Structure 1
Amino acid sequence: MWQTLFDFTNVIALGGWALLILLPRRESVLACVLYGGVGLLCATYLVMLVALVGNLVDPAPAAGTAPNPAFEYSVEGLMAMFRSEAAIVVGWTHYLALDLFAGLWIARDADGRAVGRLVQVPFLLATFMAGPAGLFAWLIARLFLRADETENA
């Protein structure tokens, strides 16, 4: 089950990134990325999180490990929680949703600053591969780019 959900969320995220990078930035495309990509990932995350936290599903701990204790907000607590396939998939979906949302914001911000698509691609790919690093790179770059009169930041 968890592998299927992992595969599903990856397909949704990859589709969103492909639309964002490859297609013209029409409002319908951006809405598809926002609701069909980010929104669907967020909804999937929420359902999985409620099922996991509510003990509605078996988190399937890794072979040879003890069942997960109650969540403890510490490095040890996180290590214990992420021994389960369920927690890995829920956490991964969290990353996918927020990284795609950050990519969408970068694309809209760059378009508003009249930054060409080829210049945007490295920032979008960096955000796809290493979310905060790509976002940080864009935040630095945008300091040096002209803002349109109708900036949405």
Structure 2
Amino acid sequence: MSWAGLFGLTNVIALIGWALLAALPRGPKVYSTVMYAGVAMLCLAYAAIFAALFGGFVDPVRVPGAPVPDLGDYSVRGLRTLFMSDGAIVLGWTHYLAFDLFVGLWIARDADLKGFSRWVQLPVLFLTFMAGPIGLLIWLVIRERRAQQAARANGDRAAR
């Protein structure tokens, strides 16, 4: 399979997971499907791509003229060199897809357990899908505000 084909396949897996979270009634089957057919499959793809690239089993299709990456150079320059290949882009993108979907799954479960409506959840899940850390940050702020409100309400009841 080409790097472009693998890129497309990982995107389809992630999109199906996000669609399940957004559209279906959630329960153990949906959560498990997203976790194992979505997140775990992306993690497996990541592991296979990682092993194939760093084991030298596949051609990473480097940008013509790009220097050979130094795996010990974690500077901006070093990482730019590392990602100057189709294989490394697909590897990095699969990493993002897996972690963002996992975070989206956690947010959905947490929101469901805390009784948040889908109307509150959907914009947060969309932001997590499009810009992972921003969606997570917004969810953390929302859930903390709810927790503080609950604590104040419980404190008021305890004082009575």
Single out whichever of 49-58 and 127-136 deviates more from structure 2.
49-58
Misfit runs of 4+, over 6 Å: none
Higher helix share: 2
What residue ranges of structure 1 are gaps of 5+ in the alignment?
A: 149-153
Amino acid at match of 1:116: S
Residues 25-76 of structure 1, C-alpha deviations (whole Å, 9 max, x = no match): 02101100000000000000000001111111111011x3235233122111
Correspondence 1:60 to 2:61: yes
- Matched to 1:137, the amino acid is I
SS at match of 2:57: coil
Does 1:18 pair with 2:19?
yes
Gaps of 5+ in 2: 151-160
Give the Cα–Cα distance (whole angstroms) in 2 for the partners of residues 21 and 66 of structure 1. Answer: 41
Aligned partner of 2:153 in structure 1 is none
**1: distance between equivalents of 2:15 and 2:82?**
27
Which residue of structure 2 lines up, in the alignment, with residue 35 of structure 1? Answer: 36
- Residue 68 of structure 1 aligns to a residue whose secondary structure is coil
Taking the aligned partners of 2:82 and 2:68, their CA distance within structure 1 comes to 6
Deviation string 1:87-132 (CA, Å, 9 cap, x unpaired) is: 0000000000000000000000001110011110000000000000
In our comparison, the structure showing a higher alpha carbon Rg is 2
| Number of residue pairs matched by the alignment | 147
AA matched with 1:121: L
The within-5 A match list for 1:1-153 is 1-62=2-63, 64-71=64-71, 72-146=73-147
Percent of matched pairs sharing the same residue: 54
Task: Give the TM-score normalised by the residue count of structure 2.
Answer: 0.88
Taking only aligned residues, the RMSD between alpha carbons, in angstroms, comes to: 1.4
Partners in 2 of 1:66 and 1:36 — Cα distance? 36
1:151 corresponds in structure 2 to none
- Using structure 1 for the length normalisation, give the TM-score: 0.92
In 2: Cα distance, 1:68 partner to 1:100 partner: 32
Code of the residue aligned with 2:6 in structure 1: it is: L
